[in-house]
A and B are shown apart, each in its own frame.
Chain A
Amino acid sequence: MKNSAADYLILDKATGTYREDPEQQVRDDVEKHYWKNVGIAILKDWRLYLMLLPMLAVFLLWRYLPMYELLGSFKVDDLVKPVSEQWFKGFSNFKGLLLGTGTYAEYSVNFWRALRNTFLLSFYGLLFGFPMPILLALFFNEVRSNIVRSTLQVFTYLPKFMSTVIMTSLVVMLIKQGSSASSTPPGIVAQLLSNLGLISADVAQKGLLNNPTYFRAIYQISGIWETAGYDSIVFFAAIIAISPTSYEAAQIDGANKWAQMRYVVLPSILSTIVIMLITRIGSMLSIGYEKVLLLSEGRIDSYQTAEVISTFAWRIKTNQNGLASASEMMNNVVGMLLVIGANTIARKAANVSLY
């Protein structure tokens, strides 16, 4: 780096004249030998850098190289050729998906549908799924007996440890369609729902998963089943951290249970709620593709509400590699902006950085 003459001169206030800055010479030397010094430091400490190497290699190969494949979103060709051999086509994929011009019309319609589904699944998750762990934590706090509470906690955490395949298999089996040929009834939960009058017997017989009307509800309810218990841990930890004296003070002031909730518990766990809410908003666009895929794969009728961006991209990857990459690119960039935005807000509002 070149330094201008002014860097070497400092104003001597006493005499009003300029003189050379002796420290600048040292700074220059350090700068000149910067990479040499770095090299020496690394060589001296080579074991430490060797330890870093496997991690760097794994992340580079299987986290960063796929991002290079994302460049395929600017190109249009088939899956067979590597990205480097494909023809660069600028933003036509993005334009095609967003505006649906010409041959892209059909894909564009599906893309917007998938985007809407992604957003709605996240939004309903926020609306119904987010308050559940908070409620559970409040309820757990009421259970005074340790044995009863830990038993209930064990029950409710359990589904979190099961694989997506097991969870979705159970969902599929419990609400499966009945067969008219062998006159077998639908799955046990579907029967229960139709007996309760929540769905008609005919709908239950045809299979809830084949019906686009119910996909969102199935997704949310199974989501609550999977994660609500486990997610309550963090809220429960915040609630039991409240000092008993706060409750006593409130009781002396004549606060009943609701007032205690409102003026003692809620303010104490508010920061936790805010942080979790912001994290949740940050990951809004990263809907778990595995669960959606396992619940809707092959059930074309349900795509209307079930297809999200990643499964849409997955479905068209063979014929429309460029479009698939482009839709994932848009999804991921917006998702990243949401994460960074959420993190910034968290830092400003609660003085906590999530990463």
Chain B
Amino acid sequence: MKRRLEISELIFKIISYTLLTVFGLCCLYPFLYAISASVSNRHAVEYSEIILIPKGVQFDAFKEMFSSNEFWNAYSNTLFLTIYGTVWSLFVAILGGYALSKKRLLFRKFFNFFLVFTMWFSAGIVPQYLNYLATKEAFTALGIMDDKWLVVIAMGMAAMNIILLRNAFENVPGEIEEAAIVDGATELQVLTKVFIPMSKSTIATVALFFAISRWNGYFWARQMISNASEQPLQVFIRDKLEFYTDGENLATWTRNYAADSLIYALIVCSIVPILIIYPFIQKYFAKGTNAGGVKE
């Protein structure tokens, strides 16, 4: 009896380790390949001679990219959208989540429904696009002509994140709030001195959700920003990809490294910031999804 137990367990363990290792490496491989291909020489990349280890190392693709104004422009646009976008989204979400967490708020049910309904029903991309065109016009009439600011204000709000914050604020004990009010704290002080410090981990999670979605934002930035020099990095990468996977454009390529290397170098540059913060955020994300807004 004892013997059979060990065998079945052993088999399952071997299967687990093998499949997990294979899957983990498969997940990682495209990124590793991108890094190798970005620093390999032209012949090795074009004739697919690399499998994992770079061949004929060159850094010209990176050099070319770093010396191009377009690239830094796109990078700074992405930083602009990420920083201001995260701050704005967080501002709106914290205030909204705080108000919604208060039982004394009149029509609380209605406001909650107002929020949650957007998770059930979204208009779809064509009506949204038409709506953005209309709001753009309205904003221009108001004197706000900068497309980047419109993307900052209009995009990236998610009902789910507000609900996460609302739930966190609801868990702050009422006694502490009362004590603060007795001490003469105003509404704003209650929020900034009591609720925000007490829900730090949820706020950090939500801030990271916002920041990542802003950093990764592509579609609406592309549609909404008409000036090419104001486009973020993701749009820049996509444009380069489209340009250099077109055979006709490739025919005029004369550099000593492959056009693919340039695209891989761009990809590497875009994922490096995420890789740097990734170890720190990983545990937050796991926590955040478990909280997942599931309410009994």
| A residues at B contact (CB < 8 Å) | 38, 41-42, 45, 47-49, 51-52, 54-56, 58-59, 61-70, 72, 79, 82-83, 135-136, 138-140, 142-143, 151-152, 154-159, 161-166, 169-170, 172-174, 176, 179, 181-182, 184-188, 191, 225, 228-230, 233-234, 237, 251, 254, 256-258, 275, 286, 289-290, 293-294, 298, 310, 313-314, 317, 321, 324-325, 328-329, 331-333, 335-336, 339-340, 351-355
Contact = CB atoms under 8 A, between A and B. Distances in A.
Given A48-B105, A314-B125, A331-B124, A162 B130 contact: no
Contacts of A159: 27
Nearest to A184: B46
Nearest to A41: B106
Given A139-B19, A163-B216, A170-B267, A340 B115 contact: no
Contacts of B95: 51-52, 54-55
A254 B124 contact: no
A169 B115 contact: no
Interface string B12-45: 1101110111011111101101100000000000
A134 to B, nearest CB: 13
A233 B92 contact: no
Contacts of A328: 123-127
Contacts of A56: 96, 111, 114
Nearest to A256: B8
B296 A352 contact: yes
B93 interface: yes
Interface in B261-291: 263-264, 267, 270-271, 274, 278-279, 281-282, 285-286, 289-290
Contact of A61 (B17, B47, B154): B154
A332 B237 contact: no
A187 B91 CA distance: 45
A230 B99 CA distance: 32
Nearest to B92: A54
Contacts of A188: 33, 48, 50-51
Contacts of B93: 55
B141 interface: no
Interface in B117-144: 118-132, 134-135
A164 B251 contact: no
Given A49-B99, A166-B237, A336-B121, A317 B126 contact: yes
Most chain B beta carbons < 10 A, residue from A55, A157, A233: A55
A52 B99 contact: yes
22 contacts: A55-B93, A55-B115, A58-B154, A62-B128, A65-B131, A67-B121, A69-B127, A79-B130, A139-B15, A154-B278, A164-B218, A166-B234, A166-B267, A173-B34, A174-B33, A185-B47, A229-B27, A233-B285, A310-B125, A313-B124, A332-B124, A355-B119
B17 to A, nearest CB: 7
Nearest to B216: A163
A65 B289 CA distance: 30
Contacts of B290: 233-234, 237
A255 to B, nearest CB: 8
Interface string B82-110: 00000000011101101110101110000
A254 to B, nearest CB: 6
B182 interface: no
Contacts of B159: 59
Nearest to B5: A256
A68 B134 CA distance: 12
A155 B26 CA distance: 9
B99 A156 contact: no
A312 to B, nearest CB: 10
A274 to B, nearest CB: 13
A79 B126 CA distance: 10
Contact of A38 (B4, B106, B114): B106
A355 B33 contact: no
A67 B289 contact: no
Interface string B224-257: 0000000000110110011001010011000000
A38 to B, nearest CB: 6
Nearest to B50: A188
Q: Which 7 A-B pairs have the closest CB atoms?
A: A55-B96, A328-B124, A163-B216, A66-B123, A69-B127, A142-B16, A257-B8
B126 A314 contact: yes
Contacts of A251: 5
Contact of B237 (A62, A165, A310): A165
A116 B192 CA distance: 51
A330 to B, nearest CB: 10
